[in-house]
């Protein structure tokens, strides 16, 4: 078979797998947003069937044959040097995905999808009812599935030099990154953030936020906020779920969710900004990458760099609120009509370590991630038993945040990730902070009008810079290659820590 025919066959198989994946994503989005509670078990069977079909399709011998014929091997994933650069990048991503998927038995994949569907529904009920015991059997199942995946991929918990089981899970989201390397970044990061928190004055009461904010008005404001940011509502939408998330159902169908609390206005506002950052990435891959495995983020940390950049670097900046605050105050004149912009801006950036990760300020947020990183390593290694997790969670909350949750709903049950089996995902958030601030440093060099554009509500230069420097590549580049290409630097915590220390020194004197 000729090279052109091999590539055409491989692209066709990739597109079919892509469409099957988006169909699965639609069923999962529906489960998280509007599925009746009685439909959970049947939905789990639907997910199991479709995931098994998609897996069988992707690991067919024909795909392996095409990859080999094009010169793509585990040792040389990009294939023959004479191929165009775009095709070689395509082969690299296909080879990595194929080599991982082909090691998973079809029955295991279907069983895992079924268990994940049931687990997510059980988590939502358990969180609502503050009932960890009801979720515990599902948590055990998710841990067992995660361990087995890593074993299939070739990782070991026997210390035989292949890397730990947790390394195999972390590699799913951050290719090539190990727990040891992650810990080496997180250790100094946690120390300096804790040192800064100890220097800051205690948080002050904020009466203007400690009152009811009608959730219907919050919904209207958040739709106006999406328009303000440049979110194309012809290609995406906002819904409600138990935990905010973004899912891509197609190049022109990217959906985000939030949740509403009458006495926590900022929760939905910042989750909408955060999820919009993910959506901008998903909506901005160039035409040549559409319907392809290349239409994805370079890694989850790079994806989180976009959400964290929009939520914090943009969303917690003074120029941003100079432009947006009048719109927010007009939606809530009774609560905010007499509150000046200086007072509001200081409250938006008040450092108040909280129990809930998604509501955390940008100084203490990474401490939430380090806490979860340490716990899930212990769960996967077996050092920590699932039934002991709530007690260890409270112990680590005191250690990292100087706080202790009174309920499991505000503690170990607050995040959806473990119910999905997404062990190894959490580090991406803190790593995303690091990537995001390195990107931001380069952006400010290239866009001296950065602050004035924010104040004017003009996000076009920022969107164009991100499309040109980051989004255009999809996952053609490894995360370290992308960072080097954009900034000329390797991953470091210093730009993030310097930004945090400078900003909060100025805020608090």
Residue of 275, 362, 374, 376 marked catalytic: 275
Candidates 400, 408, 407, 403; CA nearest to 371 is 400
Task: List 257's β-bridge partners, or say none.
Answer: 239
Q: Where are the alpha helices (DSSP H) in 424-492?
A: 427-446, 450-455, 460-469, 479-487
Contact 146, 426 (CB under 8 A): no
Which residues make Cβ contacts (< 8 Å) with residue 477, sequence separation at least 6? 89, 298, 485
Contact 390, 408 (CB under 8 A): yes
Alpha carbons 464 and 469: distance in angstroms, whole number:
8
DSSP 3-state percent helix, strand, coil across the chain (nearest 5): 65, 5, 30
Which residues make Cβ contacts (< 8 Å) with residue 464, sequence separation at least 6? none
- Residue entry with tokens 């082969």: 91
Alpha carbons 251 and 445: distance in angstroms, whole number:
31
Contact 279, 285 (CB under 8 A): no
Structural tokens at position 457: 């509500």
Contact 28, 248 (CB under 8 A): no
Contact 256, 276 (CB under 8 A): yes
Which residues make Cβ contacts (< 8 Å) with residue 338, sequence separation at least 6? none
Contact 197, 217 (CB under 8 A): no
Alpha carbons 310 and 317: distance in angstroms, whole number:
10
What's the Rg (C-alpha) of the chain?
23
Candidates 356, 373, 371, 359; CA nearest to 409 is 356
SS3 259: coil
Alpha carbons 332 and 337: distance in angstroms, whole number:
7
DSSP letter for each residue of 204-229: PP-TTTSS---HHHHHHHHHHHHHHH
Is residue 395 annotated as part of the catalytic site, yes or no? no
Q: For residue 328, give Cα distances in angstroms to 216, 340, 417.
A: 14, 12, 31
Burial class (CB in 10 A: 0-12, 13-18, 19+), 136: middle
Q: Dihedral of CA 386/43/45/113: which sign?
A: negative
Structural tokens at position 427: 């580090």
SS3 255: strand
Which residues does the annotation mark as catalytic? 275
């Amino acid at each position: 078979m000729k090279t052109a025919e091999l590539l055409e066959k491989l692209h066709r198989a990739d597109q079919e797998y892509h469409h099957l994946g988006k169909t699965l994503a639609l069923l999962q989005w529906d489960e998280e947003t509007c599925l009746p509670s009685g439909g959970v078990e049947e939905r789990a069977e639907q997910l199991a069937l479709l995931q098994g079909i998609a897996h069988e399709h992707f690991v067919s011998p024909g795909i392996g044959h095409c990859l080999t014929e094009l010169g793509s091997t585990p040792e040389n994933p990009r294939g023959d040097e004479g191929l165009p650069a775009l095709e070689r990048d395509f082969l690299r991503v296909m080879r990595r995905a194929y080599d991982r998927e082909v090691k998973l038995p079809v029955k295991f994949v279907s069983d895992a999808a079924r268990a994940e569907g049931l687990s997510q529904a059980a988590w939502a009920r358990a969180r609502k009812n503050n009932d960890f015991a009801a979720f515990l059997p599902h948590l055990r199942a998710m841990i067992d599935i995660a361990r087995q995946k890593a074993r299939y991929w070739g990782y070991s918990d026997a210390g035989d030099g292949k890397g730990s089981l947790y390394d195999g899970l972390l590699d799913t989201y951050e290719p090539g990154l190990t727990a040891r390397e992650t810990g080496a970044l997180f250790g100094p990061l946690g120390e300096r953030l804790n040192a800064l928190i100890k220097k800051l004055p205690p948080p002050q009461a904020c009466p203007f936020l400690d009152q009811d904010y009608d959730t219907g008005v919050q919904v209207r404001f958040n739709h106006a906020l999406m328009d303000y940011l440049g979110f194309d509502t012809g290609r995406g939408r906002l819904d409600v779920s138990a935990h905010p998330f973004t899912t891509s159902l197609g190049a022109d169908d990217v959906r985000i969710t939030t949740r509403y609390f009458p006495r926590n206005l900022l929760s939905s506002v910042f989750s909408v900004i955060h999820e919009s950052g993910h959506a901008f990435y998903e909506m901005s891959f160039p035409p040549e990458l559409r319907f392809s495995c290349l239409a994805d983020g370079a890694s989850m940390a790079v994806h989180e760099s976009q959400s964290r950049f929009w939520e914090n670097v943009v969303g917690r900046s003074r120029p941003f609120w100079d432009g947006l605050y009048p719109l927010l105050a007009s939606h809530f004149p009774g609560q905010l009509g007499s509150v000046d912009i200086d007072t509001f801006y200081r409250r938006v950036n008040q450092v108040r370590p909280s129990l809930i990760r998604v509501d955390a300020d940008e100084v203490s947020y990474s401490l939430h991630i380090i806490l979860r990183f340490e716990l899930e390593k212990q769960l996967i290694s077996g050092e920590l038993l699932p039934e002991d997790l709530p007690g260890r969670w409270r112990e680590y909350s005191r250690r990292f945040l100087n706080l202790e949750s009174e309920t499991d709903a505000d503690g170990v049950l607050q995040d959806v990730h473990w119910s999905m089996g997404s062990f190894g995902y959490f580090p991406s958030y803190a790593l995303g902070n690091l990537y995001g601030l390195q990107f931001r440093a380069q952006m400010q060099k290239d866009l001296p009008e950065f602050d004035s554009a924010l104040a004017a509500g003009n996000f076009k230069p920022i969107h164009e810079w991100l499309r040109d420097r980051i989004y255009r590549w999809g996952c053609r580049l490894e995360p370290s290659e992308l960072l080097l290409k954009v900034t000329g630097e390797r991953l470091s915590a210093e730009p993030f820590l310097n930004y945090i220390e400078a900003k909060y020194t100025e805020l608090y004197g």
